[in-house]
Amino acid sequence: MAGGKASARQKMINLMYLVFIAMMAMNMSKEVLSAFGLMETKFAESNTATTESNGALLADLITKAEEKPEEFAVAANKAQQVNAISDRFFNYIETIKVDLLATGKYTIDPDTGNLPFEAMDKTDILDEKWFTGDRLTKDAQKVMSEINKYKEDIKAVLGSDVKYRKAIESFDRRFNTDPVVNKDGKKIGWLDYNYQGFPAIASYTKLTALQNDVKVTESSMFNLFLGNTLTEAITLKNYQAIVLADKSAFFAGEKFQGRVVLGKYANVTPTKLMVQGQEIDLTNAIDSTGAASLNFNVGNVGEHDIDGKFTFLEDGKPLDIPIIGNYVVVPRPKDASIAADKMNVLYRGLENPLTISISGVPDNKVSVSGTGIKKVRDGKYLVVPSTGTTTSITATATLDDGSKISSSKQFRIKNIPSPKGKISGKTGSVRLNKRDVTTSKILASFDGFVYDLNPNVYSFDLTISGQTPVSISGNRLDARAKAAVNSAPRKSTITIDNIRVRVQGVSVQIPEADPIIIKLTN
């Protein structure tokens, strides 16, 4: 096609070939752009799902920290730090994406909710913003600085604890920004390699993927913090024999009553059981859960050890598992035991459960007094405090010889915390389209609270930036509010506050729910 003098017909054929090749290139380009767009959508959906999952994990950690601070307080604190650091970096990446769309004048299709993938073929948006010759612009240096800050902040939370070493190595690999060797064998900067010369949709997708790395990191950290507080058994070698006494202390002369079990109640029948130097008859000692019943005379007042061993058959060989435990023999009681079932506080207006008992004294010989307290069954009570900041509960027992002992314990009284406002399953600052805003219920929830309360929203205010607030009765937008939302410009900010709630069966006023800040996406 390129040599010699061509006829008019041959020139026309040559031109047709060129046009055909150009059309193929255009079609392939559109397919590639669409593929990037579909990948971006998948990453975005994954980010949404992971955000919800991470929120549940964090709430679980916070709840566990309130109930068992000695086990979970440190883990919950680290998780909240990781959450704050991740949210900050995630939102920073979001500002880059928003700026990229604004510069390229790309808008989301209101019908499909998708970006114009095939039209996002510009390569000069980030090229002009981040690169100048062989150097990075100030904006690009800011991007690298933010990435490095995120990495440093996460590592600072984990610290130098050896149990986090594997997690840190995985984190470093995920956010490795070292220079990269390109196809020509030349070492170039990480930002140049990943973003220079790429179509806008490719860069936008990579930024969403970077956000996904943040969410995955957050998820792995939360699971790591939960996992650090648990012991996972893989084989019988990792089980522990646990002594479960029927009560924590015994009077001198009583018989010890309790059970010895394997951790996780492994239903494995031993071949032999030794306790306190004597072999136990397995015929009646092992129940359906694998627990072995113990029955022997306790010693004098003081602490005593229980020693023995389970013998099992594993891999054709005997496997001995030591039984290590102890019990305490105490003299007759002089005091009462009063403990809150939930926490060491009582909540105003709620039925707070208490377990009250006195060691060695039957329930029918224990009387309990206090403001707002009532008995529901043996050893179980409900307290509904109303006023004040503290209250005292007193337990009195009548002993077998007719003498009485009495003990009091003071509890703090706290108000019910504020619930969180929720729309479309989300709380705090959210991004929604107009349809979701106008059709969704306004809800409230006590995330992380120790009581299962179901608040009902009965009124709220809706304010669109720059407009007069609209007061609404019920938990859905009325006609006025819907009209205001539908007429609001894209990217408008909507504030839903003064969210008033009721909880059935609760007599006190519930605080207003935390507000919801909505950024319209269309």
Q: 28 vs 325, which has greater pLDDT?
A: 325
375 three-class SS? strand
For the residues of 63-103, what is the DSSP string, one character each?
Answer: HHHHH-HHHHHHHHHHHHHHHHHHHHHHHHHHHHHHHHHHH
Tell me whether strands 516-520 and 493-502 are parallel, antiparallel or unpaired: antiparallel
Counting every residue written for the chain, the total comes to 522
Q: Please compute the mean of the pLDDT values over residues 316-345 and round it to a whole number.
A: 67
pLDDT for 29: 61
pLDDT of residue 27: 42
**Res 332: pLDDT:** 57
Least confident among 255-259, 319-323, 382-386, 455-459: 255-259
User: Which residue has 């929830």 as its token pair?
Assistant: 445
3-state secondary structure of 1: coil
Report the alpha-carbon distance of residue 192 to residue 130 in Å, rounded.
Answer: 9
Give the residues across from 244 on adjacent strands.
259
pLDDT of the residue at 231: 33
Compute the mean pLDDT over every residue in the chain, rounded to the nearest whole number: 81
Outline where 123-262 has alpha helix (H). 124-130, 138-158, 165-174, 190-195, 200-227
pLDDT in tens, 253-303: 556 677 776 555 555 667 788 877 778 777 777 776 667 777 777 766 566
At 437, the pLDDT band (50, 70, 90 cuts) reads: very high
CB neighbours of 331 closer than 8 A, spacing ≥ 6? 251, 252, 301
Q: CA 132 to CA 19: how far, in whole Å? A: 35
Residue written as token pair 């106008």: 438
Tell me which residue has tokens 């000069």.
124
Lowest model confidence (mean pLDDT) among 115-124, 177-186, 207-216, 308-317? 308-317
Taking residues 334-355, report their average pLDDT: 76
Mean pLDDT of 218-241: 61
**Residues 388-413: tens digit of each pLDDT:** 899 999 999 987 667 888 888 889 99
pLDDT at 316: 45
Task: List beta partners, residue 347.
Answer: 414
Instruction: Kindly tell me if the per-residue pLDDT of 252 is higher than 70.
Output: no
Q: Is a pLDDT exceeding 60 seen at residue 351?
A: yes
**Pairing mode, if any, of strands 429-432 and 516-520?**
parallel
Please give the average per-residue pLDDT across 93-98, as a whole number: 92
Residue 68: per-residue pLDDT:
85
pLDDT for the residue 309: 84
Q: Are residues 449 and 513 in contact, defined by beta-carbon separation less than 8 angstroms?
A: no
pLDDT band at residue 137 using 50, 70 and 90 as cut-offs? very high
pLDDT at 1: 46
What backbone torsions phi and psi does residue 122 show, to the nearest 5 degrees?
-70, 140
Say what the pLDDT of residue 253 is: 55
How much of the chain exceeds pLDDT 90, in percent? 34
207-210, long-range: CB within 8 Å, 24+ apart, which pairs? Answer: 207/93, 207/96, 207/97, 207/100, 208/40, 208/43, 208/44, 208/47, 208/97, 209/39, 209/43, 210/93
Instruction: Please say if the pLDDT value at position 340 is more than 90.
Output: no
Could you give the CA distance from residue 430 to residue 482 in angstroms, rounded to a whole number?
18
User: What letter would DSSP give residue 408?
Assistant: E
Distance CA 382, CA 376 (A): 7
pLDDT at 20 over 50: no
Check: CB of residue 250 under 8 Å from CB of residue 359: no
Using CA atoms, how far apart are residues 137 and 133, in angstroms rounded to an integer?
9
Residue 234 pLDDT > 50, yes or no? no
